[in-house]
Amino acid sequence: MFTVVFHTPEIPGNTGNAIRLAAVTGIDLHLVEPLGFSLDDAKLRRAGLDYHDLAHVTVHPDIEALWLALGPGRRVFAFSTSATTSFANVSYQPGDVFLFGPESVGLPDEVQCAEQVTERVRIPMLPSRRSLNLANSASIAIYEAWRQHGYPGAS
């Protein structure tokens, strides 16, 4: 129903947790290279537990390959601490894409401002805090979008 994209993720545990998130929610997870780890990394496998075979994960060599794979007409929400719109003020639609940047620096400006990006959004937090954990941010976004649609397919 929804898609999460990690653009050049750096920490294997976060991606492992996102793999688990994909398995339990049915989202698609896309990773844009370069990755800061190997997909065989023990920390990635440990964080994803035995959910790797239950998740749909696609790796793209660069952002252009991602845009091509997503195709036209998809709404893309770029998550950024510098955005002014709260993610909670968006009415999500099936097929929406949630785009997150690497843990250390967030989404580069050229990705946030790409023509494929529909809107930049943020997750509210207390002032003077740098950011949330990447996997936690993806979870917050997906569960809000899924909630808006009544958790289809969930038991």
Q: Tell me the backbone φ, ψ of residue 66, rounded to 5 degrees.
A: -60, -50
Closest C-alpha among 126, 116, 122, 142 to residue 29 = 142
User: What number is the average pLDDT over the span 138-150?
Assistant: 98
d(CA 120, CA 84) in angstroms, rounded, equals: 8
Listed in sequence order, the DSSP H helices in 27-113 are 42-48, 63-70, 109-112
d(CA 92, CA 77) in angstroms, rounded, equals: 10
Domain boundaries, the chain: 3-148
Give the number of other Cβ atoms within 10 Å of residue 126's Cβ.
5
Judge whether residue 49 has pLDDT over 70. no
Q: Is 63 annotated as a binding residue?
A: no
Would the pTM of this model clear 0.85, i.e. be above it? yes
Number of helices (H) and strands (E) in the chain: give both, helices first: 5, 7
Residues shown for the chain: 155
pLDDT at 128: 87
Name the CATH topology of 3-148.
Answer: Alpha/beta knot (3.40.1280)
Q: Is 26 annotated as a binding residue?
A: no
Q: Is 27 annotated as a binding residue?
A: no
SS3 129: coil
pLDDT band at 47 (very low <50, low <70, confident <90, very high): low
pLDDT at 52: 74
Closest C-alpha among 5, 21, 24 to residue 13 = 21
d(CA 65, CA 22) in angstroms, rounded, equals: 21
